[in-house]
Amino acid sequence: MKNDFIWGAATSAYQIEGGKFADGKRSSIWDEFCKKKNAIVNNQNGNKSCEFYYHYKEDIRLLASLNIKNFRFSVSWPRVMPLGPGFINQRGLDFYDRLTDYCLENKVDPWVTLYHWDLPQELEDRGGWTNRDIVSWFSEYAAIIVNRLGDRVKHWMVLNEPVVFTGAGYFLGVHAPGKKGVDNYLPALHHAALTQAAGIKTIRSACADAHIGTTFSCSHITPLNPHNIEDILAAQKTDALINRLFIEPLLGYGYPTSTLPFLNKLEPYIKSNDIENLVAIPDFIGIQNYTREVVSHSKFTPYLNAKIIDAKTRNVDRTIMNWEIYPESIYEMIKQFNRYKEVKEIYITENGAAFNDRKIDGQINDEKRVNYLKSYIEQVLRAKNEGLKVDGYFVWSLLDNFEWSEGYTPRFGIVHVDFETQHRTVKKSGKWYSNYIKEFQERNSSIVI
Ligand code: FCB
Instruction: Decide whether any atom of ligand 1 lies within 6 Å of the 161 Cβ.
Output: yes
State the distance from the centre of ligand 1 to the C-alpha of 271, rounded, in angstroms: 32
Residue nearest to atom 5 of ligand 1 (CA): 396
In sequence order, the 6+-apart residues with CB closer than 8 A to the CB of 14 are: 28, 30, 46, 49, 76, 116, 117, 118, 402
Between the two ends of the chain, the Cα-to-Cα distance in Å is 11
Q: Which of 161, 163, 218, 320 is the pocket-test mutation for ligand 1 (most atoms within 8 Å of CB)?
A: 161
Determine if ligand 1 sits within 6 Å of the CB of residue 118.
Answer: no
CA of 308 to the centre of ligand 1 (A): 19
Cα 371 to Cα 374: distance, rounded to the nearest angstrom: 5
Burial class (CB in 10 A: 0-12, 13-18, 19+), 124: buried
Residue 447, pLDDT score: 58
State the closest ligand 1 atom to the C-alpha of 160, by its place in the atom list counted from 1. 8
Q: What is the pLDDT of residues 273-283, one digit of tens each?
A: 998 999 999 99
Model confidence at 258: pLDDT above 60:
yes
* Closest to 359 (Cα-Cα) out of 433, 435, 420: 420
| Of 193, 412, 211, residue with least CA distance to 320 | 412
Q: Give, using CA atoms, the residue closest to atom 10 of ligand 1.
A: 403
For atom 9 of ligand 1, which residue has the closest CA? 12
Contacts of 103 (CB under 8 A, 6+ apart): 60, 71, 109, 110
Nearest 5°: the CA angle 138, 349, 374 is 165
423-426/415-418 β-pairing: antiparallel
Q: Compute φ and ψ for 359, nearest 5 degrees.
A: -95, 115
Interatomic CA distance for residues 45 and 39, integer angstroms = 10
Report the half-sphere exposure of 234 (CA within 13 A, side-chain side): 25
What's the pLDDT at 259? Answer: 98
**How much is the mean pLDDT over the chain?**
97
- Ligand 1 lined by 130 (C-beta under 6 Å): no
Cβ of 165 less than 6 Å from ligand 1: no
Contact, 285 vs 391, CB < 8 A? no
Element (H, E) at 364: strand 363-364
Q: Which atom of ligand 1 is nearest to the CA of 410?
A: 6
14 Cα: distance to centroid of ligand 1 (angstroms): 11
- State the pLDDT at residue 445: 83
Identify the CA nearest to 68 among candidates 425, 430, 369, 345: 430
Q: Inform me whether the pLDDT recorded for 3 exceeds 60.
A: no
Q: Is the pLDDT of residue 1 over 80?
A: no
Average pLDDT over residues 151-175: 98
What pLDDT, in 10s, does the model give residues 40-66? 999 999 999 999 999 999 999 999 999
**SS3 per residue for 406-432:** HCCCCECCCEEEECCCCEEEECHHHHH
Set out the domains of the chain in order of their start, with CATH numbers. Answer: 6-443 (3.20.20.80)
256: cis peptide before it, omega within 30°? no
Nearest ligand 1 atom to the CA of 412 is 6
Say if ligand 1 is within 6 A of residue 304 CB: no
Query: What pTM, to 2 d.p., does this model score?
Result: 0.98
Q: Would the pLDDT of 115 be above 60?
A: yes
